[in-house]
A and B are shown apart, each in its own frame.
Chain A
């Protein structure tokens, strides 16, 4: 059975934010909610690295472990999805998640946040596949259409991979074996000289 995974190659990510834009456009995610974002460390310095982050669909998801209303559920292919009809917006999942994936539509009085929203791996939610009500609550369901998450499909440098974990791990392994990685990658010393390593 395939197990869905994201894999971001930090050597290739150029912080273009196309993945963020593609996600927002595909699901019509409003201002204030980012299901995906690009994090950069050592910005503007040698060794700068960027990585595209969203829900990582953990095997033993801490968000699901702390949810007081058990709104999270896992699919057979390894996705962690949630039911907005059950969510009470308590925010526990936000504190539990090491990736900052859960998002909330508002900050209100007495801690009211509204229903949690997060990356669905473009797989919708517990409504019938590709119905209007599923789109309204969870966004597009590309997996049910036989496609992959748009963030990965849009990535111009092919840094962000999505799909069957075994296959994308094989793709990354082959890249490293053929091209190297970091300052050992093909073309690095031509572009950055001999002194800059990462």
Chain B
């Protein structure tokens, strides 16, 4: 009598398959800047009127280090 091989399939194979998919996704090139101004097929995530005019600058340690090292 033939045995159903799918029942014997070790769980580790699923793990290896998932790892393969993850590696493939990681190796896919990241979407880069588009000169045509399009979104590259991604859905827009527009800021509201207040958020787009909000200040972006923060005086972090990184910024303070820039000021310090440029002052001579």
Query: Which chain A residues have a beta carbon within 8 Å of chain B's beta carbons?
Result: 1-2, 4, 27-30, 32-33, 73-77, 79, 81, 84-85, 87, 105-106, 114-115, 117, 123-124, 126-129, 131-137, 139, 141, 143-144, 146-148, 152-153, 158, 161, 163-164, 167-168, 171, 174-175
Contacts and interface: CB of A to CB of B under 8 A. Distances in A.
B31 interface: yes
B33 A29 contact: yes
Contacts of B59: 2, 164
Interface stretch (B9-17, B19-27, B61-69): B61-69
Contacts of A161: 70
Interface class of chain B by DSSP: loop
A164 B35 contact: no
B39 interface: yes
Contacts of B62: 146-148
A153 B53 CA distance: 24
A164 B33 contact: no
B57 A77 contact: yes
A164 B54 CA distance: 16
B17 to A, nearest CB: 26
